[in-house]
Amino acid sequence: MTEPWRGEKIGGMTREEINEFLKGPWLARLACLKPDGWPYLVPCWYHWDGACFWVVPRLRSEWAFHMALDPRVCLLIDEPEPPIRKVICEGIAVIIEAGVGPTLENGQKSIWNQIGERYTGPRYLGTERADEYRGSVNVEPCWTFKIVPRHITSWQGFAWAQRYKHTEFYPDQAGKAKVEPTYPA
């Protein structure tokens, strides 16, 4: 049995646990590549639909242009308090809408507007504040990107994954390690 401060479960999360975790109020950290090859990192709101992430940069957001030029991205969503769960997604950013307003020419709401109204606004601000906030900015054009996961990794709890451990340094039943660690002076 693990100590309670380590979390109820330790290790990777199931698909259901990932889906439940990603409903939380966490910000994502999105990393993309600038044209000069340097990484660009930005916190952002996200929506997870059970298969893909959705992010909505403002029209003039630098990171939108970076993703349009090179769609390789990485998202990190984690919680700062125990049980310290995290999801890391390597994916491809697909442009769904580029610089469109809240209402399209056909009179329908843009996808980013629908995402903000149904999911991200209420989740991050609560319904009342979301309506107030959205009313003040819901004239600005935005991008809509769908991030298609290539690889998702998850973890929960305070413990090291086995792959990081050097088992030869841990004592056996007799209390002796196979190898004593040595450290540079």
**pLDDT tens per residue, range 18-43:** 999 999 999 999 999 999 999 999 99
Q: How many CA atoms lie within 13 A of 169 on its CB side?
A: 7
Best CA proximity match to 114, nearest among 25, 54, 27 = 54
- What integer is the mean pLDDT of 173-183? 75
Domain map of the chain by residue range?
4-169
pTM of the model as a whole: 0.86
What pLDDT score does 182 carry? Answer: 75
CATH topology of domain 4-169: Pnp Oxidase; Chain A (2.30.110)
Distance CA 41, CA 53 (A): 16
What pLDDT score does 8 carry? Answer: 79
**pLDDT tens per residue, range 38-91:** 999 999 999 999 999 999 999 999 999 999 999 999 999 999 887 789 999 999
Distance CA 27, CA 75 (A): 10
Residue carrying structure tokens 């660009």: 40
Alpha helices in 40-184 (DSSP H): 62-69, 111-115, 121-125, 127-137
Peptide bond into 122 cis (omega under 30): no
- What integer is the mean pLDDT of 95-116? 90
- What integer is the mean pLDDT of 101-114? 89
